[in-house]
Structure 1
């Protein structure tokens, strides 16, 4: 099976806007379609709390006619048109979907951050991990989230093998960003966040990119939009991951980063696994 994960930074805009950035996003849709994945996980959809409009649905059918989809948006008590996740899956697949609350600090559970699909032999779950924020204002809450999320994955793992994908908002090791020395106090590379990710892996999960590719350098999944030369100079971070239960790591055949061209921010990642 083939899985793709992407923090799209506004599916809403991609489906409704005529901006240059929206066109670039739709170009990436074509790249994804050529990969022909079984499952596509999208984070930071930024859809309205009222749900999908008629136009949203029409455009999704236009771009992804072979897929059904489930999604979760921010709900009352959280910022409107914020965060959100959507998982698309081939229409021939039979799945059960869930949108769990993990007892995270308020209002994180209301922000639409997790979608889980149950297959016969495994769970596929995607996550949009909360950012620690400017001046690390949300770091203490982020640390609680990391613990609660690790507990959630461990609970799933006791029932079936787990594939966990998404934007984890952390560069785990110095090799995972271009300028580690300058960023030890930056959101996404604090000691606390890195320790949280280490603790998650220690619960029985594998970073598939490192498992397949070893210590290859200069491979990133995010480049800052506000710095126009960040992607040109490959001044990036690897903060998007496919994790799998340790017991199925040898089934992983590919874990890679997809080229999104000139479009900055996140780029999609892909994983292939044999079941």
Structure 2
């Protein structure tokens, strides 16, 4: 089984930059999007053989997630825990026979950290939700999680300490999640690899010089470890300020 996650930073713009060519080429069983930035009816994607699930933000041109899957899920949920509404369109959960697929566009603390407290509350809520699901069946959790966990997950760690996405508080929340029985799949395969990034600023020459951050993840229940085949970062794929990430599993 091949799974792909990609923050497309606006699916309509990404489609104009070759999204469908990549989608067909990668031939994923499940393809997750973050930051779709549109409302219902603003795009019609002809994806033969896929079921489509979209979570739109109430605010126009903002946030949003989607999942395209070859296999029809047993159930679909938008929101966390008992919440049935998710105004920023940040999460979709699909239930399959043997696992849950959770696609998330994590809350950004903002440059001035004005949403940091809200972000930390979000992290606690997401962790509790994933643990709750994991008690039923294994979880595959993916998306733009808006945090570089370790110093090797961004180019300029020292100068970014305390900045949004690299605060100690956000990093500790990722540590807490992994300690709750989950595995960062890329680090499982490549624990010491450096220069492996998934997001680059649009500033001139930043991507060409690979001054980036790894903030997109596939995280799975630890008991799925023996099912993992490989994790990859498709940094050569353009069309967004993020690149796609790929997880291959035997499920």
What CA distance in whole angstroms lies between the structure 2 residues aligned with 1:205 and 1:88? Answer: 24
Moved more, 261-270 or 171-180: 261-270
Q: How far 1:219 moved relative to its partner? A: 0.4
| Alignment correspondent of 1:8 | 8
Equivalent residue of 2:140, what SS? strand
| Aligned residue runs from structure 1 range 224-263, under 5 A | 224-225=201-202, 227-263=203-239
| Aligned residue runs from structure 1 range 91-240, under 5 A | 92-102=71-81, 109-225=86-202, 227-240=203-216
What CA distance in whole angstroms lies between the structure 2 residues aligned with 1:95 and 1:223? Answer: 36
Q: Does the C-alpha gap of structure 1 residues 253 and 31 become closer, same or farther in structure 2, counting only changes over 3 Å?
A: same
Asked whether the 8 Å contact 1:129–1:169 carries over to 2, the reply is yes
Q: How far 1:102 moved relative to its partner? A: 4.3
TM-score, normalising length from structure 2? Answer: 0.94
- The CA deviation string for residues 14-42 of structure 1, in whole angstroms up to 9 with x for no partner, is 45xxxxxxx32xx2432232121100000
Q: How far 1:261 moved relative to its partner? A: 4.0
What CA distance in whole angstroms lies between the structure 1 residues aligned with 2:130 and 2:97? Answer: 17
Aligned length: 250
RMSD between superposed Cα atoms in Å: 1.7
Unaligned runs of 5+ in 2: none
Asked whether the 8 Å contact 1:69–1:88 carries over to 2, the reply is yes
| Alignment correspondent of 2:29 | 38
What CA distance in whole angstroms lies between the structure 1 residues aligned with 2:76 and 2:131? Answer: 18
What CA distance in whole angstroms lies between the structure 2 residues aligned with 1:74 and 1:93? Answer: 23
| Alignment correspondent of 1:73 | 56
Q: How far 1:103 moved relative to its partner? A: 7.3
Asked whether the 8 Å contact 2:140–2:221 carries over to 1, the reply is yes
TM-score, normalising length from structure 1? Answer: 0.86
What CA distance in whole angstroms lies between the structure 2 residues aligned with 1:256 and 1:37? Answer: 13
Q: How far 1:214 moved relative to its partner? A: 2.1
